[in-house]
Structure 1
Amino acid sequence: MHTVHVPASGPPVTDTTIGAVLAGRLVKPLFQPIVDLSTRAVMGLEALARGPAGTALEFPDQLFAAAGAAGRLGELDMLCSERALECAVAASEPPPLLFVNAEPAVMDQPPSPRLVELIESGLLFREILEYTDARCRPCPAA
């Protein structure tokens, strides 16, 4: 296995940089607990995507903007879902629910073979697909 270096700063983010992130599967989920405030019990986890630490693509706003600009938003979105499930499956104690964010702009893409494999393997938790906030326009009057 080889390591792909993504620069922390310097030239603007390009398709090559996004390509390196995708090729190296350099996305990691950060799990945020969803807590029932009345009991303080963890009801589930939300998977938040992070790019390579210490790079210009570490945080999701820059990561997804760069992927969108490169025409690779669908690939990044799918990779984030795959990595979230992979890490939750590998956890010593799986969550009862796993909330995975998805981009509305790429809802029409089919799931990747890896995502299908993970889902069909018999997850020990429920997965909730949560669409991220879209830049909404008012609906036309009916």
Structure 2
Amino acid sequence: MSPRNVKAGQHPLNDCGNESLSSFELQLLWDGVEDFTGLWQAEALARKYGSDLQGVTPRNRARRSLERLAEDGLIVVYVCRGVPTDETCDRVGLEELPKVFDMGISWIAPEEGGIGIWYDTNDDGFDAYRKATDWQ
């Protein structure tokens, strides 16, 4: 990791000047507002955004950000069977997240009807997005 000054309470992956959410995290939140978003999609987004942190892979960047957003109560992670709906998904508890994120299969798009790991932005996450982007 390249040395840089990080203010107290500022996330080290922050890259947009906002003390609470990086532009990458804001995009993750927005993607989760639009629809259920798969972990593999978050990893692809991290690859697109890149990283100035040496040795941080796109998957690790996505994981760190998703863990932080979940711990902050801004997103919810689910295990879904088939197309994600309220009826086909089970919530993953915070204590289970590391185990789920450690499984390589969690980061691969499921085959049709298969099990996949998805996240969704909740109301608090949408409020945080709106506040961070000055969306009235």
Which has more strand, going by share of residues? 1
TM-score, structure 1 length as denominator?
0.30
Higher relative contact order by CA 8 Å / sep ≥ 6: 1 or 2? 2
- Larger Rg, first or second structure (1 or 2): 1
